[in-house]
A and B are shown apart, each in its own frame.
Chain A
Amino acid sequence: MQEHDMSWVRTEMALAQPAPPTERGAYAWVRKNLIGSVGDTVLTVLGIAIVLWVLPQIINWAFINAVWTGPDRTVCTTASQGGIQPDGWTGACWAFVNAKFGQFMFGTYPVEERWRPILVAILFVALLVPMLIPRVPRKGLNALLLFVALPIVAFFLLVGGVFGLPHVETPRWGGLLVTLSLSFVGIAVSLPMGIVLALGRRSKMPIIKWLCVVFIETVRGIPLITVLFFASVMLPLFLPEGVSFDKYLRALIGVSLFAAAYMAEVVRGGLQAIPKGQYEGADSLGLGYWQKMGLIVLPQALKLVIPGIVNTFIGMLKDTSLVLIISMFDLLGVVKQNFADPNWATPQTPKSGLIFAAFVFWLLCFGMSRYSMYTERRLDTGYKR
C-alpha cells in the first residue's frame, strides 16, 4: 500500500554532509584568505615577494653567517678590513655580545661582587613569580615582601658598605641592572604617587586640586629628557651647599616624577568610570574619605585601568633608556659605549649589539603586555552577566 502513497514525510534527519570540497581544507582557506579577489592576490604576491626577499637575508645575517664566539674584532671583519672573514661577508657579530655579556648585564660592577646583583635578581624572580600566578595564596604578604622588603634588602646588597660587604658606588652600576632597578623603583614609587595625584585632582579642595592639575599637566607637556635635565642640573642647585646626591638617585627622582604624572591620568580615568552610586553608597554607610576610597572606589577603579597601568610601566621601562643622555649607562648606554672599544670596532658591531639590546627590551615589554592581557581577561568578571 505504501508504494502508492504519493505523500512522503521524512522520518529521520538527513545525515550531516561535509561542506563541499571547495569550501573546506587548505584550498578553501587559501582562496578565502590569500586570493579572495584580484587586489588580494596582488597584495599576497607582493607580501610573499617581500618575505622571500627579507627573510633569507635576516636568517643568513643573524644565524648562518653569524660569528658566535671569538677573542676580538678579527673574527667579525673581512680580510680587507684586517680580519679573517672572506671579502663581502656580512653577518651578525654575536661574539661581541658574548664577550661583553657581563658588562651588558652589570656595567662595571666589580666582577668579584657580581654575585650580589645575581642574588637580588634571584630573590626578585622568586617573589615575582608567585605574585603573578593567581592561584598562589597570600598575595598580601607576597606584595609586602616584593615592594617593601625586597627594595630594602636589595639596597643594602647592591650598595654595600654594611655587614662587611664592600661599598660599590652607583657610577659603577650599569647595564640591565640599572635598567631594571630604575624601572622597578620607578614603578613602586609612581603608582602610589599617581594615585595620590589623581585623588588630589578630583579633590573638592581648590588649592590641592589646582596644585595637582598644574603638576600633572606641566610634566605631561614636556619631554622626559627635559625632566631628566631638570633632575640632573637643577636639583643640585635646590639644595644647600655641601648637600648633594648621586646621579643615580637624581635620575630615579626624574623618572618617578615623570611616570607619576602619566599614572595619575590613568588612575583618574578609572575613578571617573566608577558610577556615582558607589561613592554615595560608601557615604551613606558612614565611611570616611580614606575608607571610602581605599575600600570601595580604588579597588574597582584600579581593576578597570590595569591595561593602562601596565602600558605606563612598559613606557617607563622603555624610557629608562633615556638616562644615557645624562651620561648614565643603562643597557642601551653600555651597549653604545662598547661600540667605541677598539678591540671590537667592526661594521657589524653596532647592529649586533643594538639588536641584542632590542631583543632584551622587546622580551620584557612584550611579556608585560601579554601578562596584562591575561589579567584583563581574568578580572573581567564583574560586568559579565
Chain B
Amino acid sequence: MASQEILREEPSRGSFINDPRIRSLFFQTLVVILLFSSIWWIVHNVIENLQRLHIASGFGFLKSRAGFDISDTPIAYTSDSTYFRALVVGLLNTIIIAVAGIVLATVVGFLIGIGRLSQNWLIRKICTIYVEVFRNIPPLLVIFFWYSGVLAVLPPPRESIHLPLGSFLNQRGFYLPRAVWGDGSWLIGVAFLLAIAMAWFVAHRARQRQRATGQQFPVFWTSVALIIGLPVLAFLLSGMPLTFDFPKQSTFNLTGGFWIKPEFLSLLLALSFYTAAFIAEIVRAGIRGVSKGQTEAAAALGLRSGPILRLVVIPQAMRIVIPPLTSQYLNLTKNSSLAIAIGYPDLTATAGTVLNQTGQAVEGVFIMMIAYLVLSLVTSFVMNIVNARMALVER
C-alpha cells in the first residue's frame, strides 16, 4: 500500500527548473518576446526607410493609373486602367496558363507513365529516357530552350510554315483558324449542356438498375452518342452557323485567326513537359502499388483484362496517385511564375512591374503571396474533394 501512497504524490519533485510545464512556458515566452521585438524592429526600420525614400504606404496606389501595356489581356485593359486591373489581368493569365498546363501535363504524364509499364520494350525505353531527361533539367532552362532555341529561330512571318487545317507557325507564334459562331449557335451550347445532364442521368439510372437487377447498360457508348450527337443535331437544325476565320498571309504579318504567342506557347510546353515527367513517375508508382493479387482475383472472378483495369486496378491506383498529383499541380501553378523570365504577363510579372513603378515593395510582395496562397488553397480544396470521392469507403 505504501507504493500507492508514493504514486499519488505530486509529480513535481526537485527544482522547478526541471518542471516541463514551467520550462515550456519559459521558452514560449522567450520566443514570443524575441519574435515581437524583432517584428517591432523590422516595422520600425521599414517605416523609417519608407519615409526616407518618400514612399507612401498602404494600398491606395491600386486606384491610380497603371500606365504600362500588357501583351496578353483576357479582359479589357489599356495603359489607362488602374493598377488593380493590371494585377487582375496578371492573375487571370496565371490561372489560364496553370489550367492549360495542368490539363496538358496530366494527359502527357499519364501516357508516359503507362508507357513505362508497357509490355513493349521500345516504348518502355523511350518513356524512361523522357522521364530521366526532363526530371533532371531546370524548368526555366526548358522554357528558354523553347523560347530562344526553337521558336525564335523559326522563319519570319513571310516564310511561315504551313500546317494542316489552315494553321501557320512562324517566329511570332502559332496561328490557328478561329471559330466564328453565327446566329442561333447558342442552341449548340444548350444541346451540349443538355447532353451532359442526360448522360449523367443515364449513368445514375444504369447504376441503380445494376444494383437492383444486376443487368448492365452500355453507359459509356450511350453517353458518347449523346454528347456528340445532340450538339451535332443542334448544329444541323440551326442551319450550320459555324464559320472559320482562317489566318491570312499579308506582306509582313499574318492577319486574322487565333494567335497563340510564342511566350505562352513556350511556357505551356515547358511547364507541362517538365511536370509530365513527375506525373509519369507518380502514375507508374500508383499502378505498381496495386498488388498483383487484386488483378489475379479479378481474373479468377472471370473479368477480362479491360474491365480488370477499369474496375479493379485504376480505382485503387487513383487512391495512391491523387495526393502526390495534387502537389504536382500546385508545383505547376507556382512554376508558372517563371513566365516573368520570357515576358509573359502573369501575376508575378505584372506585380513586379507594379512594384518597380510604384516602389510599393511591401504591398506588392504581400499581394503576390496572398494570391498564390489562395490559388494553392483552391487547388488543394478541389483535389481534396476528388480525393474524398476516390478514398476507400470503410464500412
A residues whose Cβ falls under 8 Å from a Cβ of B: 32-34, 36, 40, 43-44, 47-48, 50-51, 204-208, 211, 218, 221-226, 229-230, 233-234, 236-241, 314, 318-319, 321-322, 324-325, 332, 336, 339, 347-348, 350-351, 354-355, 357-358, 361-362, 365-366, 369
Contacts and interface: CB of A to CB of B under 8 A. Distances in A.
B130 to A, nearest CB: 11
Contacts of A206: 28
Given A34-B120, A225-B340, A229-B364, 19 more contacts: A33-B120, A47-B120, A50-B126, A205-B27, A208-B28, A211-B31, A225-B338, A229-B368, A237-B49, A238-B45, A241-B45, A241-B52, A336-B144, A347-B153, A348-B153, A351-B150, A354-B145, A357-B141, A362-B133
Contacts of B361: 233-234, 237
Interface in B123-176: 123, 126, 132-133, 135-142, 144-145, 148-150, 152-153
A347 B141 CA distance: 17
Contacts of A43: 118, 120, 122-123
Contact of B122 (A44, A237, A336, A339): A44
* Shortest beta-carbon contacts, A-B, top 9: A365-B136, A33-B121, A223-B334, A351-B149, A318-B138, A223-B337, A350-B148, A47-B122, A321-B138
Interface residues of B, number: 58
B24 A226 contact: no
A345 B299 CA distance: 62
B372 interface: yes
A225 B337 contact: yes
Nearest to A348: B153
A362 B131 CA distance: 12
Nearest to B341: A325
A358 B45 CA distance: 42
A218 B340 CA distance: 21
B311 interface: no
Contacts of A218: 369, 373
Contacts of A237: 45-46, 49-50, 361-362
Nearest to B380: A221
Contacts of B118: 43
Given A33-B121, A318-B139, A324-B341, A51 B48 contact: no
B144 A354 contact: yes
B35 interface: yes
Interface string B345-366: 0001000100100000110110
A224 B153 CA distance: 30
A365 B134 CA distance: 11
Nearest to A39: B120
B42 interface: yes
Contacts of B31: 207-208, 211
A261 to B, nearest CB: 12
Given A207-B28, A324-B140, A365-B136, A233 B365 contact: yes
A233 B355 CA distance: 9
A369 B24 contact: no
A364 B144 CA distance: 20
Nearest to B122: A47
A230 to B, nearest CB: 5
Contacts of B139: 318
B32 to A, nearest CB: 6
A208 B45 contact: no
Nearest to A289: B20
A318 B134 CA distance: 11
Contact of B144 (A40, A207, A332): A332
Contacts of A223: 334-337, 348, 372
B335 to A, nearest CB: 7
Contact of B48 (A36, A240, A339, A366): A240
B100 interface: no
8 contacts: A36-B120, A204-B24, A221-B372, A225-B340, A226-B337, A348-B153, A350-B148, A366-B132
Contact of A241 (B49, B141, B142): B49
A366 B153 contact: no
A358 B145 contact: yes
A379 to B, nearest CB: 20
B134 to A, nearest CB: 10
Contacts of A211: 31, 35
B120 A369 contact: no
A321 B334 contact: no
Interface in B177-227: none
Among B27, B120, B341, find the residue whose CB has the most chain A CB atoms closer than 10 A: B120
A44 B120 contact: yes
Contacts of B27: 205, 208
A33 B119 CA distance: 6
Contact of A332 (B49, B121, B141): B141
B336 to A, nearest CB: 8
B376 interface: yes
B137 A361 contact: yes
Contacts of B334: 222-224
A239 B45 contact: yes
Contact of B369 (A36, A204, A226, A319): A226
B140 A322 contact: yes
A380 B122 CA distance: 31
A238 B148 CA distance: 38
B377 interface: yes
A36 B365 contact: no
Contacts of B121: 33-34
A241 B338 contact: no
Nearest to B146: A354
